[in-house]
Structure 1
Amino acid sequence: MITNFKLKHRIFNFGLAVAVICFCSQTYAQSYLGNSMDNYAGVHAVVYNPANVFDSPFRTDINLISASGYFGSDYLGLSLSDMLSADGEFNFDEDAERSPSNSNHFFTNIDVLGPSFMFNVGEKQSFAVTTRLRGLFNADNVNGNLYEKVSEGFEIGENFDFDSQDLNVTAHVFSEIGLTYGREVVKTQDQFLKAGITLKYLMGAGGIFMNSPELSGTFNGLTNNLTTQGAISYGSTPGFESDSPEFSDLQSGFGADIGVVYEYRKRIVDGTVLGKRAQQYKFKAALAITDIGSINYQNSQQTVYDANGDVNALEFETKDLEQVLEDNYTGTRTIGNQKLQLPTALQLMADYYIGNRWYVGLHQGLSLRKSGSADANGIINTTTVSPRWESKYFSVYSPLGLRQYSGFAWGLGFRLGPLTVGSGSILTNLISDNSKNTDIYVGLKIPLYKKIDY
């Protein structure tokens, strides 16, 4: 646990580097919450389920640039209204609400969807080519009580015990080029089934990783001495050994998404103020497994420390992490291959057509990586219900979700022709005094529609 807190400046620099890359690219946790259920989401829907590439309402859909950011923790809660009204004087140390526990979690997902397009080949198959840049950060099973002691200082005269299990910190930056193929599988008068697969070529910029299966300790307030038991493993890929990561040594890997979509097509003709239209389905269900794969980084550096020993707590105020570890513990350093796992997830969706262009959708994103798994990123489990009004040129939706570690989230978004803007949590962020997650997305594309309006 000690490592996580003395590592905070390096983690911050890493996260800042990821953000700079994304916004310099002209700015996907979970990406595009709410919008992904829209039948006119196009390429954005392919990212969640490759089967969506087939039988869309587009002749082709060209994404120019889109970006999504998802940030949160169950440790730190903020009031967005207080921050906006503070005129730059908001103090995180004093004004943010903290909820320390023996197992806190921190997470970041920044996803930029670059130039991408989808197109049809014949009547029963479609293709898509996608490009993405992604930055992922997970800190799982962090002892928040110890974090406060280390970051604010141990109190003289106050004893303190801690116990940490399955600590994992993984930060990873990579890009990918995906080729998606989707086609019709079954089609009858009322039943329709399609399937798809995306094969990805991954280009890893690198990352840092730390884990500790078990670490416990006691602080003696009279002697100012911290006694610890356990082990800590810490390392980085080439180019990430310093506080200023370099992105010059890209290493390759492979990944995949697979998915199916079923539709019950009881065809409906709606009469509305906008005229009559043919609705494609009454009910839709979808299943996909996304981000299967990993990147293997050669010549990565890793040090395993035997953390059985004593440390004077004052050392954490005057030395950086690596110096404290080297001065107090026995470490074994190795150079070799390091595999960083992608955030493999199960994506479940259902969509019901109410009538008059109104729908209600359900989306569940479930991580297939166990929390605390070493050298792996994972998504945050979410369940989202999203009512929406949808048409060819305009859609509006308001997702309501339950998110692992951070609770209820309520958002708002819209699609207006080529522009998509939204957030799965903006309304919660505005009204809550203790908001523990936030996300936002924006996208610009060129949609070329089919003549049929559904």
Structure 2
Amino acid sequence: MKYAYILFLFILWSKTFGQSYSGLFTDNFSGIHNTIINPGSLADSRTKWELNLFSINSIASTDYTPLTLGNITSFIENDSFDSLERLASDTNNFLINLDVLGPSIQFSLNEKNGLALFTRIRAIGNINNINGTLFESVYDGFANQDFDFVANNMDFTTHAWAEIGLSYGSILLQKKYHRLKGGISLKYLLGGGAIQGSSTQLNGQYDSSIEELSLNGDLSYAFSATETEGDVDYFDNLSSGYGFDFGVVYEFRTPSSLAPSNGDNPRGFNQYKLRMGLSFLDIGKITYRNTESSTYQINATFAAQDLEEDFISAIEDQVVPQTLVNDQAWKLPATINLNVDYWLTKQWYLNLNINQGLLDMNATFNNNPLNLITLTPRYESRIFGAYLPISNSKLSGTSIGLGLRLGPLLIGSGSLFSNLGNNAQLADIFLGLKIPVYHKKKSKDFKSKKQ
């Protein structure tokens, strides 16, 4: 296996580079994209029914190299970091997240209840606390200069899986100025494969005169797929699992926020002055049968060329591992999401979203999302929506993007304007096509009820 983890991460980056659907999910007319962030939004939705044909969102974040438009283009063209500015340290971090929302449908059952069925393919990869010089040497080749490194609590995990989900949302409490909604998504998971590596401590010294790297420390490695004589069967050990999301949404209404729907169909209008949502996402796991886990205690010297070709195989040639075969569970990237939306005036809103992972970053056999705080001014109407997400996290720094909803077309990036600058640490893009049908503003049914 030719250092499959690193290659898999950057294949995703180079093909799709790029928080899911940044800005878009705050829109009251975003339908199922709102539901996958908080299933409580499904109740009393502006969407009568909606068919999502496809949507794709991808994100990359790192403190190893600036994710400027020029650097991204250069990397895609050359598949190399050689020409890029590099900020190598003992604790570099990488995150890749790919989210494909396949054919999905959402519809209102009645005034209080909604239902959705969705399909989704996802992949997420993390590298935490890796020495940047070691990383670039293995990926791009060892340079003609000596170096020493220390890596503590290094961890790398990639996991890919598919989901089939059923979401239900309902109004739990309804009074004149207050409304409480809740929802849940139940998900059947099909695991596509996972890789896990970790090290509590790994030290090294590279001697460029003889092109050899001396390593001392520990390394643990597990791979869910079957590998026979160098060939990997990624589909030999497909495993299933279950997961769920749940959330609540509270709306505070005032006479002025209720006024636009007076005399018309209230389901065709936003009626809140302030909306607050809280959701717990990706609670669950997938267990892969007969996973082989190996632990290496390393104190040896390796040829640089062997490490470049296949890092794990080069170590196995000189170090006998302790190997264990058992059923191993990989946890989903469990997340808590807090969303606050405020109606400013007419069709203008201001949104604050906080996305925080619930799992220990240094724990094994799990992934972590990008912990983002995002402030999004937006304009929304039934046909058109525009979003200006301004986000910040420890890894990605501050990013500014732009998103648009033009009828059935969705397009945007949470980092567009930042990528045009010099210091971006986030690259994000989304694109989608759907068929939405919204509740009419004027309804004979509602008029007849009032008469």
> Is the TM-score greater than 0.5?
yes
State which of 212, 220, 229 in structure 1 corresponds to 2:199. 212
Does structure 1 retain, via aligned residues, the 8 Å contact 2:376–2:390?
yes
State the shift of 1:54 in Å: 0.7
Does structure 2 retain, via aligned residues, the 8 Å contact 1:14–1:245?
no
State the shift of 1:403 in Å: 2.8
Q: Partner of 2:425 in structure 1?
A: 436
1:167 partner letter: M
Q: Partner of 2:273 in structure 1?
A: 282
Q: Partner of 1:410 in structure 2?
A: 400
State the shift of 1:410 in Å: 0.7
What does the per-residue CA deviation read over 1:423-447, in whole Å, with 9 as the maximum and x for residues that have no partner? Answer: 10111112x1232221111111111
Pair 1:100-2:91 in alignment = no
What does the per-residue CA deviation read over 1:97-121, in whole Å, with 9 as the maximum and x for residues that have no partner? Answer: 1111111111111111011112223
Distance 1:426 1:391, change over 3 A: same
Q: Structure 2: give runs of 5+ residues left out of the alignment.
A: 262-267, 443-451
1:30-179 matches, cutoff 5 A: 30-81=19-70, 92-148=80-136, 150=138, 151-153=140-142, 158=146, 160-179=147-166
Whole-angstrom distance in 1 between the partners of 2:69 and 2:54: 27
Whole-angstrom distance in 1 between the partners of 2:233 and 2:402: 35
SS in 1 for 2:111: coil
SS in 1 for 2:317: helix
Distance 1:315 1:68, change over 3 A: closer
Q: Partner of 1:324 in structure 2?
A: 314
Q: Partner of 2:181 in structure 1?
A: 194
TM-score w.r.t. length of structure 1: 0.87
What does the per-residue CA deviation read over 1:237-283, in whole Å, with 9 as the maximum and x for residues that have no partner? Answer: 12477676533542100111111111111142469xxxxx9641101
Does structure 2 retain, via aligned residues, the 8 Å contact 1:78–1:96?
no
Distance 1:232 1:176, change over 3 A: same
Whole-angstrom distance in 2 between the partners of 1:218 and 1:138: 25
Does structure 1 retain, via aligned residues, the 8 Å contact 2:92–2:128?
yes
TM-score w.r.t. length of structure 2: 0.87
Does structure 2 retain, via aligned residues, the 8 Å contact 1:10–1:243?
no
Whole-angstrom distance in 2 between the partners of 1:243 and 1:379: 31
The more displaced of 232-241 and 348-357 is 232-241
Does structure 2 retain, via aligned residues, the 8 Å contact 1:295–1:341?
yes
SS in 2 for 1:48: coil
Does structure 1 retain, via aligned residues, the 8 Å contact 2:38–2:247?
yes
State the shift of 1:315 in Å: 5.5
Distance 1:179 1:304, change over 3 A: same
State the shift of 1:57 in Å: 0.7
Does structure 1 retain, via aligned residues, the 8 Å contact 2:13–2:96?
no
State the shift of 1:10 in Å: 1.9
1:243-254 matches, cutoff 5 A: 246-247=234-235, 249-254=237-242
State the shift of 1:387 in Å: 0.5
Distance 1:184 1:279, change over 3 A: closer
State the shift of 1:94 in Å: 3.8
State the shift of 1:228 in Å: 3.6
Q: Partner of 1:234 in structure 2?
A: 221
Aligned pair count reads: 433
State the shift of 1:322 in Å: 3.0
Q: Partner of 1:274 in structure 2?
A: none
State the shift of 1:62 in Å: 1.6
Whole-angstrom distance in 2 between the partners of 1:344 and 1:265: 32
State the shift of 1:329 in Å: 1.8
Distance 1:83 1:223, change over 3 A: closer
RMSD: 3.0
Distance 1:378 1:131, change over 3 A: same
What does the per-residue CA deviation read over 1:316-365, in whole Å, with 9 as the maximum and x for residues that have no partner? Answer: 46752233212322212232212111100111110110002110101111
Whole-angstrom distance in 1 between the partners of 2:100 and 2:416: 20
Q: Partner of 1:422 in structure 2?
A: 412
SS in 2 for 1:296: strand
